Structures are given as C-alpha cells and as structure tokens.
Structure 1
Amino acid sequence: MGVSHISNRSGQRSRGWSRRGILAALGAVPAAALAGCSSSADASAASDGKDAAATARAATTKKATITVTPAPGTGKAGFTSPVEVTVADGTLTSVTVAGNDGSTLSGSFNEARTKWTSARNPYSGTKYTVTAKAEGAAEASVTTFTTRSPGATFVGYFTPEAGATSGVGMPVSINFTHAVADRAAVQKAITVTAEPAVEVVGHWFSDTRLDFRPETYWAPGTKITLSLRMKDVEGADGVYGIQHKDVTFHIGREQISTVDLSAKTMTVKRNGETVAGYPVTGGGSGHTTWSGIMVISERFEQTRMESSTVGLGDEYDIPDVPHAQRLTTSGTFVHGNYWASTAVFGQQNTSHGSIGLHDTKGAGDSSVAGYKFYESSMLGDVVIVKNSGERTVDPANGLNGWNLSWADWKAGSAV
C-alpha cells in the first residue's frame, strides 16, 4: 500500500511538472528559434553590403602611381632618348620638364593620357625637374634627374661674323673642329634663312666644311639668319655638337669687279652701274692668276707677304704690302703695289699670281688706285677674273663656291 501510494504521488507530480515544462518549452523554443533565424539573416545582409561598399571605395580611391624615365635621382642619365612619364591607376593631367639652364621640354600625351613623351631629347649636362600631376593622385609628383656630359665635342666656326654686313657674294661658311661622319644629321641641325626669302642650300666641301648659298648672289639688303641646333647632335661616333644659337648677318650694296687680264684692267660696278676703272697687273708667265668668280674673304690695310708661305721658296718677302684683300686660301690677293714701275699697270702681267694696283708705301695715299679700291670694298664683294690663261679656281679654294652650277652645288648637300 505504501509503495503504491508513493508511486501514485510521484506520478502525479511527474505529470504536473511535465505540463509546466511543456508550456515553458512551447513558449520559449519557437521564440528563440525565430529570434535566431532573424539575427543571422540580417547580419549576413549587412556584412555583404559593407563588403561591397568597401570594395567600391577601394576601387575609387586607389592611388595613381607616376613613373618617370630617366629614373628620379639619376646623376648621369643618357641624353639620346626622350623623357617619358607614365601613370598607373589614373590619368595624367599635366607634365612640365624644366632644365636648370632655363630650357623646357615640350611633349604630348597618348590618347588615354596615361603616357607623356617629350618632343625632343634632354640636353646633356643639365639638371631637369619633372612635375607631373595625375587625376587620381592627391599631390603632384616632383622628381629630378641630371644628364651626363658628352665625352668628346665639336663646334662649327662660321663666316661671316655675327652682325656683319657683307657683299652679295658672301656665302655662309662653317668649319668644324672635328671631322663629321654623319653629314645628314649635322646639316639637318643647321638652317640658313633669308629675308626676302630665297632657297638656300648647303654644300659639303669636305668632312670639316659646309657652305650655304642661294642660286644667285644675295639681293642687296638681305637679312640672313644662321640657326645652329647642333647641341648633342652626334657628328661622329661618340662626338657631339655643343652649339645652340642664332646669329644674323646682313648684305650691303652690290659691288662686282671684273678683272680682264688680257686688257689688264679692272672695272668696278656698284648696283649694276660702273663706278670705277683701274689699270692692273696680273700673274706673269709661270704664275698665272686663277680665273673665275672669287670673293673677298679677308682685308688688311697692310700685311706681310712671303713667297715661302705659298710654296715659292724665297722669291719675295714684302713686310708691308698695302691694301691687301684675299681671294683664295692658297694666296691669291688683290692688293696695292708700290715696288713696281707705274708703267707696268695696264701694260704687263708680272705678279706671282695676285692682282696688283698702283699704290704707295705706307698705305696712306688716297689718290692711288690701290687705296681707292680698298676703301670701296667690303668682305663678300665679288671679283671676277677672266682671260688670265689659267683654269677656273677650285670652288673650295676660298669662298668661291659660285664657280659651281646650281645643280652641282645642290648635289653636294647631304639632305
């Protein structure tokens, strides 16, 4: 009986507890289950949204990277290639390249504006500052590099001198200090222009000499500009030009003098009109005067003339030849002569190849032919010699390229 009673009470208590537990379970489990499902879904959605936003922000704020060639900080950069600026993850908005010599390098962008290339190479021996801005960068990129200096260099010495006024026959003649192997490269770096405009062409007489002239004599009053752009032009292997300059010359009046050594006379024409005539003496037998068109290239009120300097031994040595004007490199002059008899002029050809006019010792007598002709002349004036019994002067012997036809002159151009 006792056992049965206890078992029954125990069973009642067990059933009563189960109802409360079930009710509690029915009230809590679904709520917990619903709460658990809702929290997981919301967190996942929020996480996906945050990741997408972060990715978008990262894509829009990725830093643009600018690269400069030559590399920043280079101390001995090359100068035979253009400067390049590129950008990754952005577009270039502006690029400036400035040298410490005051020069700047212009350039152009590619279509996508991700690359800029200078229009020409940087100069040697120059420090450059490169300032580049990109749309995706917060600040401009500022870098520097320095180009190396060339090991060997050359220059061109030019005639006439800057600012000079010359006669209508004066070519622009350039003599280089080093033999030029790449004639085309050097000639392209040199231009000669005229006002009023006329075609001007270069002609190479040798690997160290380049002359420029028009087809016919310059017009009186012409302004001539020589532009040298030879800096860093490689004229020979490892040998670079260093000149970058413009010089101007002017042409004065036209004076053309014709020497007829058969008649032994000189006729001087100024702007087409005869202004003077002089009796002369030319080269005698064995020393005939060159014929052809010659240009006055040097002038001396007095100068020493020695036969040994022109390969004639000790035939003469005159320390004070008056009013001497050079016509050829080899030693032909038109000059005053005080040592010959006045009867020689206009009657005999007795010189060693030059053209002589009567003059006086000391070069101070304004009444004589030598003085008058000298005073009326200038560098670049034309002197034409005919009937001398000698062949035409070599066009390279002095400034005498006018003895070449225009076709032959142009054939000597490298461009």
Structure 2
Amino acid sequence: MGGVLLMTAACGDEQGKGGEAAGPAGASATAAPGATGDGNANTTTSKTSAAVLDVEPKDGARGVAPNALRVSVSKGRLTTVDVTDKDGKPVQGSITPDGTGWKPAAALTPGTAYTVNAQAADADGLVAASTSAFTTLTPEKQVSTNDNIGDGQTYGVGMIVKVDFSTKVVNKDAVAKAITFETDNGTEVKGHWFDDNRLDFRPADYWKPGTRVTIHYRLKNVEVAPGVWGDVDKDEPFSIGRSQVSTADAATHQMTVVRDGKSTTVPATLGDAKHPSWGGTMVIMSKEKVTHMNSQTVGLGNEYDIPAVPHAMRLTRSGTYLHGNYWYEGDPFGKANTSHGCVALKDTEGGSDTSSAGAFFNSSLIGDVVTIVNTKEKTVAPDNGLGGWNLPWANW
C-alpha cells in the first residue's frame, strides 16, 4: 500500500511539471490568445497616443460666442482639423506653424450648429482623435446696416459708398474688415469712419469709367458692439459709367462740364454775397424731377418757399442742390450770383428737357462730380453729403 501511495504522488508531480505531457488530449496544445505557449498568462496592452486634444467650446455647448472656437494639443502636433456647419459647409482655418493650435479664419455665424473633427499625432506617430459639436448663440440684438448702393446700378466716377449703422459701432476695425470691395481692374478701396455710425468707402482718385465693383458684406459673425451683432451677409454689385466732372465758377457764373474728355460750358448762377455756395468737391447724391424747397428746412427763415423746383440734384446733406430755376426776374445766368447757395441753371416752370437744367439732369448720374470754385464760403465738410473727396487720401 505504501508502494501505491508513492506511485500516486509520483504521477501528481509529473502533471504539475508539464500539463502538456499528461493532461487531457489537446487541452493546452495551442496557446490561448493573450497567453504564451508555456501556459503562463501574458495579456497584450494596446499603446495609447500621448497627444491630448482640447477643443473649446466643449461638446454639446450652446450659446457659444462666434469667436470662441479654438483647437489645441499638448504632447503632440495637430494633423487635421475639420469644422463644418449643419449643411456640411467647411469653416476655413489654419494650424499654427508649431502644430499645437488651430483657429478659424473668421468668427463663426451666430445661431448655427457646428461639428469639429480633430486629429493629432504624438512623437511616436500614434494618433489621437476628437469629435464634438456645439451651437453658436442666437443674437438678441442686431445692428441695421444700410448703404446708398442699389444692386446692379450704374454710378458716376465720384461715387462714394456710404454705410450707415443703426447703433453705435464699437469694434470698428472688425466691421471695416468685414466689408470688402472687389473690382475688375484692381482698384483699391478704403473705408473712413466719420463717426460711430457712419463708414464711407472710396478709391484714392475718381473711379475709372467702366469699373465693375462688388461689395462683400460679411457682418453676421461680427460683434459690432457688446451684445450687438451684424445683420447681413451679402454681395452687392454695381458699376461705374462714363466720366462726367463739372466745375461751377462763382466768379464767372459759368459751369464747365467735362464728359469723357469733351468740354461744354453752361451759364449758371450761384450763391449770392449773403449766402455764398460751399467750395470744394461734391457728388450728386440723388436726383428728383421735381422737389419742394422751403428755406425754413435749412435755417433761413421765410426766405423762400418754392413747391415745384424742377430738375433737382442734391449735393449736400445741408441742403445744397444743383437745380433748374425759372422764377428769377431777368436773366442772371452767366451774369450774377443770386441763389441762397445752390447752383442754378436756366429752366422753365414744370421743367423742360431741352433747357440747360433739363439737359444736364438727363445726362447726369448719381455719383457725378460737381466742384465749386472761387466762392467766398469755406470748403464743404467731408461728411456733408458725399464730400469725402475733400479729405486727402493720406488722411482717409
């Protein structure tokens, strides 16, 4: 019996030393996944990228400021960053030279959902990825933006684009950068702020005839003032017609009109000694076949009240017009200055297309230049009407 016990112990020892020799058939002939062939467990662990991505705003965020998006990485370099809106439109942006950051080229559009897909690689080339989504805020307040341009319209070579805002603009640089001009001949256009609500645009010199221009408004993603956002993203085309530049001389009582290089002279009457005409360069702002002129509206008391002034072309905000005149006794045109500051050409009651005033009116465009010389009055202010040509380009 002692011999039997000894044999049993011996068999047990053999199994403990090598299960493949004495175990059930095939039980350990093939190593299980994650184990070595000698039967010892050895689980394989996947390597994780050391790169750590950070996307601001966080996934699921709402009411995000349009300028808040940033993507960054530590312990690695960004390889791709794709940001799209709900329609799949990509957001332009760039990765920093050191590869650690990305930001959009411009602020995002308010009230819009965005998705961010970013990837980065660590020093060993292992990739980390992140996907998130957020929604930008819906503005409670928006500015109203209005200009003096009509889509597809044709203007004179002196046209200045005047943009008015319904509220005070604080972030003026951002607003100015969001309004750009594209021209078919490379003409440079710059803006000038006259106050917190008005931004005018013009080239260094008069436009070249035939220039095609498109204004690009991209204001919806611009915070014009704290809590107030832009209201418009649009493209607005217009063109420049033939050249017409007129010079009214208070000393000779004549107006010289140069149209595409051809010069003609028209007898005129300008502001009298008590009410001299503004000097300097003005631009035709609007044209009215007939208008009502009342001296009380320009601070001249009861000097005049003319209900049907023909062929009226406004030159300043303060009330200067180039218009037809039929009510003067005698014939002051080309002989004397008799107006209250306007430039007047001979006309008939009701207006005649064949009169000096009628012919000039019919051949003129909004944006045509009218300069007054040899007057005793000072130069018109650059913000009085479209008087910006009186401001040197260096100061524009």
TM-score higher than 0.5: yes
Change (3 A) 1:300 1:103: farther
Kept after mapping to 2: 8 A contact 1:95/1:116: no
Q: Residue 192 of structure 1 is aligned with which of 165, 171, 181? A: 181
Unaligned runs of 5+ in 2: 122-128
Which of 155, 168, 182 is the matching residue for 1:179? Answer: 168
Give the partner amino acid of 1:232: N
Q: Is the 8 A contact 1:200 1:212 kept in 2?
A: yes
C-alpha displacement of 1:175: 1.4
Matched, 1:373 2:360: yes
State how far apart, in whole Å, the 2-side matches of 1:76 and 1:159 are. Answer: 34
Letter of the structure 1 residue corresponding to residue 236 of structure 2: V
Paired position in structure 1 for 2:382: 395
User: Cα offset for 1:281?
Assistant: 0.8
> Which residue in the other structure is 2:91 paired with?
105
Task: Answer yes or no: is 1:312 the counterpart of 2:300.
Answer: yes
Change (3 A) 1:312 1:143: same
Aligned mates of 1:142, 1:190 — CA distance in 2: 33
Evaluate the alpha carbon distance shift between residue 115 and residue 194 of structure 1 in structure 2; reply closer, same or farther with a 3 A threshold: closer
1:222 corresponds in structure 2 to 211
Partner of 1:11: none
For the 8 Å contact 1:167–1:254, the answer to whether it is kept is yes
* Aligned partner (choices 12, 15, 34) of residue 14 of structure 2: 34
The 3-state SS of whatever aligns with 1:76 is strand
Superposition RMSD in Å: 3.7
**Conserved? CA contact 2:57–2:68, under 8 Å:** no
How does 1:155-174 map onto structure 2 within 5 Å? Answer: 155-174=144-163
After the TM superposition, which of the residue ranges 23-32 and 213-222 deviates more from structure 2? Answer: 23-32
Question: Contact between 2:70 and 2:101, CA under 8 Å: does it hold in 1?
Answer: no
d(CA) in 1 for partners of 2:80, 2:204: 49
TM-score, structure 1 as length reference: 0.79
Return closer, same or farther for 1:117/1:286 CA change in 2, 3 Å cut-off. closer
> Is the CA contact (8 Å cut-off) linking 1:84 and 1:118 kept in structure 2?
no
Q: Give the deviation of 1:277 after TM superposition.
A: 1.9
| 8 Å Cα contact 2:108/2:221 also seen in 1 | no
Deviation, structure 1 residue 80? 2.6
Distance 2:98 2:280 in 1: 63
Aligned-partner residue type, residue 321 of structure 1: V
- Please identify, of 280-289 and 150-159, the stretch whose mean Cα deviation from structure 2 is larger: 150-159
Distance in 2 (alpha carbons) for counterparts of 1:217 and 1:95: 44
Tell me, yes or no, if structure 1 residue 127 matches structure 2 residue 107: no
SS at match of 2:64: coil
Query: How far is the alpha carbon of 1:74 from its aligned partner?
Result: 3.9
Instruction: State the match for 1:361 in structure 2.
Output: 349
How far the C-alpha of 1:308 sits from its partner, in A, is: 0.8
Output the CA distance in 1 between the equivalents of 2:99 and 2:273.
77
Q: 1:284-303 alignment to 2 at 5 Å? A: 284-303=272-291
Q: 1:321 aligns with which of 293, 309, 333?
A: 309
Which of 115, 140, 144 is the equivalent residue of 1:151? 140
Assess if the C-alpha contact under 8 Å between 2:333 and 2:346 holds in 1: yes
Tell me the alpha carbon deviations over residues 313-343 of structure 1, each in whole angstroms, 9 at most, x when there is no partner.
1211111100000111100000000111351
Q: If the length of structure 2 is used for normalisation, what is the TM-score?
A: 0.83
What is the rounded CA distance, in whole Å, between the counterparts of 2:93 and 2:336 in structure 1? 69
Paired residue type of 1:155: S
The structure whose Rg is larger is: 1
Q: Residue in 1 aligned with 2:125?
A: none
* Pair 1:242-2:254 in alignment: no
Percent identity among equivalent residues? Answer: 43
Deviates more, 1:262-271 or 1:74-83: 74-83
Query: 2: distance between equivalents of 1:93 and 1:388?
Result: 66
Residue 405 of structure 1: which of 364, 389, 392 is its match?
A: 392
**Structure 2 CA distance, aligned partners of 1:74 and 1:215?**
46
Q: Which amino acid aligns with 2:138?
A: S
- Between stretches 174-183 and 374-383, larger displacement belongs to 174-183
SS class of match (2:18)? helix
Kindly state the Cα deviation for residue 234 of structure 1 after the two structures are TM-superposed.
Answer: 2.0
Structure 2 CA distance for partners of 1:74 and 1:384, relative to 1, 3 Å: same
Q: What is the identity, as a one-letter code, of the residue corresponding to 2:353?
A: S
Amino acid at match of 1:215: A
Q: 1:147: Cα distance to partner?
A: 2.2
Higher mean displacement: 165-174 or 45-54: 45-54
* Other-structure match for 2:323: 335
Amino acid at match of 1:223: R
Letter in 2 for 1:319: P
Q: Displacement of 1:156 after TM fit?
A: 2.6
State how 1:33-112 maps to structure 2 within 5 Å.
33-39=13-19, 49=36, 54-56=43-45, 59=46, 69-82=56-69, 84=71, 95-99=82-86, 103-107=89-93
How far does residue 145 in structure 1 lie from its aligned partner after superposition?
A: 3.5
What do the CA deviations read for 1:262-303 (whole angstroms, capped 9, x no partner)?
1101111111211x3211111112100011111101110000
Query: What residue in structure 2 maps to residue 7 of structure 1?
Result: none
Structure 1 residue 179: Cα displacement: 1.5
SS at match of 2:255: strand
Equivalents in 2 of 1:155, 1:103: separation in Å?
26
> SS in structure 2 opposite 1:187?
helix
Post-superposition CA distance 1:29-85 (Å, at most 9, x none) = 433333333349999x979538866434xx2799x9998654444443332311659
Give the whole-Å Cα distance in 2 for the aligned partners of 1:53 and 1:266. Answer: 101
Structure 1 window deviating more from structure 2 (255-264 vs 66-75): it is 66-75
Task: Give the length in aligned residue pairs.
Answer: 377
Given that residues 353 and 362 in structure 2 are in contact (C-alpha distance below 8 angstroms), is that contact kept between their aligned partners in structure 1?
Answer: no
1:298 counterpart letter in structure 2: S
Q: Do 2:271 and 2:343's aligned partners in 1 also have CA atoms closer than 8 Å?
A: yes
The AA in structure 2 aligned to 1:38 is G
2:373 matched to which residue of 1? 386
